[in-house]
Amino acid sequence: MAKQKKAPRPKAQTPKGFRDYFGAEVTQRTEMLHAIAGVYHRYGFEALESAAVETVEALGKFLPDVDRPNEGVFAWQEFDEKDNGDWMALRYDLTAPLARVYAQHRNDLPTPYRRFAMGPVWRNEKPGPGRYRQFYQCDADTVGTASMAADAEICMMLSDTLETVGIPRGDYLVRINNRKVLNGVLEAMGLPEGDGARDNVLRTIDKFDKVGEAGVRELLTKGRLDASGAYIDGVGLSDEQAAPVLAFLTSKATDTAGTLANLRAAVGDSKVGAEGIAELEQIGEFLTAGGYGPDRIEIDPSVVRGLGYYTGPVYEAELTFEILDDKGRKRQFGSVAGGGRYDDLVKRFTGQEVPATGVSIGVDRLLAALREKGRITAEPKGPVVVTVMDKKRMADYQEMVAELRNAGIRAEVYLGNPKNFGNQLKYADKRNSPIAIIEGGDEKEQGVVQIKDLILGAKIAESATLEEWKERPSQFQVPRDQLVAKVREILDGQDQ
């Protein structure tokens, strides 16, 4: 008989560009999504959960070429006897599925339709450091109304959301701009829609965040040396021509009325420009009526993210506190959410224009911000660990752990090999356990248990003098029937 070749063992590896999330990483994100969903719900938004999979036809943006799908999405062909199956793909955002769902179910959905969606999306991109091919999005959109009240509402909701998840007022700002005002400026400059220079101007102002006013002026005119020493060609406008764009970007005044007056000057006679300003004015009015002052939401024409993509109001939430970057330099934390108005949501499917406006929150960035500020602990408390001093008395330990759990206390019994007690304490340490329970034969006989405050114990081990150590014991002996009460007392003390 020929020798059978053994199959090699498979590699245990997360696929490239994906990652595993453990413990608090998962529960903290879940808690945050839960809190955000609560605010969205209060605003009348309805949850929508579509499948991870869509037909490539419905997703639209990415189409498979002859026999290999575009790299932007993860796609495959449905099995079909005639090799003629549909191409399917994992969704790359939550907006494309919303478009499909709204087009498909529009007769059953209320109009306007306020919906929120949260979940992973997938991008078939080259993975890089900190850049994953699966990540969470958390969107809210209002479909089917052109009313500025919808845009204002989403900005107020965004403000409430940030405060609800733990960003206090003063540490964030929702800023609003309007694409139509920019269009008006371009029109006033003699660059009507369809003019090639217009796209160049749009691309250039997108760099305003990075290069500032002087940089944009250079890029709009003669060009600019970038930090690496490379020369970036300019759009070729004269200084005079570039001036209105810069006036637009820097038109923010100390109050909304002042900002709007500056914008009016910048758009001149442009009709679309005036329309955009009226929209901002309306939004401002609704914000005031809702009680949301400029300490939370403000009109700020320097917001440029998304101006090229959206068709009307554009909004962004920024965290304004400073953090230290990789090189120890202070910088603002920056944007954690953005959105705006877009009018072609379902046109691909139905031919009709349906106005919509919506926001997407970067959940992982928001979590990072809260961790940065120490508002959520990276390593939260583990369970109370009931140690096993005598394998034969496992039932006794089961009784203790059930008592603790029934009292709402997170607890577990040690289930590894109990022979080596040191291993049990090492386990408790790895679990970030606040308390260990010990009941050996002597204790059992005397009807008592030992309760070890592991957090205090660690502190004492680190820094205490002998006197302190004597004064503040970290291990207590209590009657067995006071187990739950004493554990609760220690836990409460640790939380203070």
Q: Rule CB under 8 A: which of 280-309 touch its own copies?
A: 282, 285-286, 288-292
Q: What 3-state class would DSSP assign to 320? A: strand
Contact residues for 460 (Cβ-Cβ < 8 A; gap 6+): 468, 469, 472, 474
Q: How far is CA 229 from CA 12, 67, 215, 236, in A?
A: 45, 42, 14, 20
Min dist. Cβ of residue 175 to its own copies (A): 19
From 174-182, 231-239, 403-411, 442-450, give the range in contact with its own copies by CB under 8 A: 403-411
From 52-60, 230-238, 465-473, 485-493, give the range in contact with its own copies by CB under 8 A: 52-60
43 contributes a contact to its own copies by CB under 8 A: yes
- Give ∠ CA 401-402-405 in degrees, rounded to 5: 85
Contact residues for 453 (Cβ-Cβ < 8 A; gap 6+): 434, 435, 474, 475, 476, 490, 494
Q: Map the footprint of its own copies across residues 444-463, applying CB under 8 A.
A: none
Neighbours of 387 (CB within 10 A): 20
Q: Map the footprint of its own copies across residues 81-100, applying CB under 8 A.
A: 86, 88, 90, 99-100
Binder among 3, 4, 5, 20 for its own copies (CB under 8 A): 20
The answer to whether the beta carbons of residues 104 and 83 sit under 8 Å apart is no
201 contributes a contact to its own copies by CB under 8 A: no
174 contributes a contact to its own copies by CB under 8 A: no
How many residues touch its own copies under the rule CB under 8 A: the total is 110
The answer to whether the beta carbons of residues 144 and 103 sit under 8 Å apart is no
From 166-174, 187-195, 211-219, 427-435, give the range in contact with its own copies by CB under 8 A: 427-435
The answer to whether the beta carbons of residues 176 and 46 sit under 8 Å apart is no
Instruction: Quote the distance between the C-alpha of residue 136 and its chain's center.
Output: 7
**Cis, bond preceding 120 (omega within 30 deg of 0):** no
114 contributes a contact to its own copies by CB under 8 A: yes
The answer to whether the beta carbons of residues 57 and 99 sit under 8 Å apart is no
From 120-128, 173-181, 319-327, 472-480, give the range in contact with its own copies by CB under 8 A: 120-128
Cβ-based nearer residue to its own copies, 441 or 473: 441
Helix axes 239-249, 196-205, angle to 10 degrees: 50
Distance CA 438, CA 154 (A): 54
14 contributes a contact to its own copies by CB under 8 A: yes
Distance CA 161, CA 370 (A): 13
Q: Map the footprint of its own copies across residues 323-352, applying CB under 8 A.
A: 346, 348-351
Binder among 2, 4, 5, 9 for its own copies (CB under 8 A): 9
Q: Map the footprint of its own copies across residues 133-162, applying CB under 8 A.
A: 133-134, 142, 144-145, 147, 149-150, 152-153, 156, 160
Min dist. Cβ of residue 199 to its own copies (A): 22
Q: Map the footprint of its own copies across residues 213-252, applying CB under 8 A.
A: none
Min dist. Cβ of residue 378 to its own copies (A): 14
Cβ-based nearer residue to its own copies, 161 or 251: 161
164 contributes a contact to its own copies by CB under 8 A: no
The answer to whether the beta carbons of residues 343 and 354 sit under 8 Å apart is yes
**Short-list 485, 494, 385, 371, CA closest to 430:** 385
